Amino acid sequence: MMRWNVTPFMVNTFTKEGTRITGIGNNVSLVFGEMDFTGKGANRLVINGHSPFDKNTILIRFENADGESQQMVEFPHSNGYEERVFDLEKVTGMQKVTFVFLPGSNFDFGWFRFEQE
């Protein structure tokens, strides 16, 4: 089971609407601390979101005592909230996970989950 706390660092804009974060703009970071990937780890990421643009590029940063790694995903256009699945290099152990929305972003974030395929 993953434990998390979210801390948004605003450089541009976003709005919190219930459990969703909408209107995410350039360089907004969503930080989730103490995520537990012990055991099998995770090699897939499912994001439920909405992108009015052709694509939104999201950098995912994983940090722990051993260092940092980064992986990039591109969420394509959607007409409403949709689930998209992204393959990742395997992540294990306790991690701080940061979603960084790169310049040109306009994204509505519903939820996410990590999976082991």
What's the predicted TM-score (pTM) here? 0.88
pLDDT digits (tens, 9 = 90+) for 48-84: 999 999 999 999 999 999 999 999 999 999 999 999 9
Q: Is residue 1 part of a domain?
A: no
Q: Is residue 92 part of a domain?
A: yes
* DSSP-assigned states of every residue in 11-58: SS--EEETTEEEEE-TTEEEEEEEEEEEEEEEEEEEEEEE-SSSEEEE
- Report how many domains make up the chain: 1
Provide the CATH number for the domain around residue 80: 2.60.120.260
CA 34 to chain centroid: 15
The torsion of the CA quartet 6, 49, 16, 70, rounded to 10 degrees, works out to 30
The torsion of the CA quartet 18, 12, 79, 19, rounded to 10 degrees, works out to -10
Domain that holds residue 57: 6-115
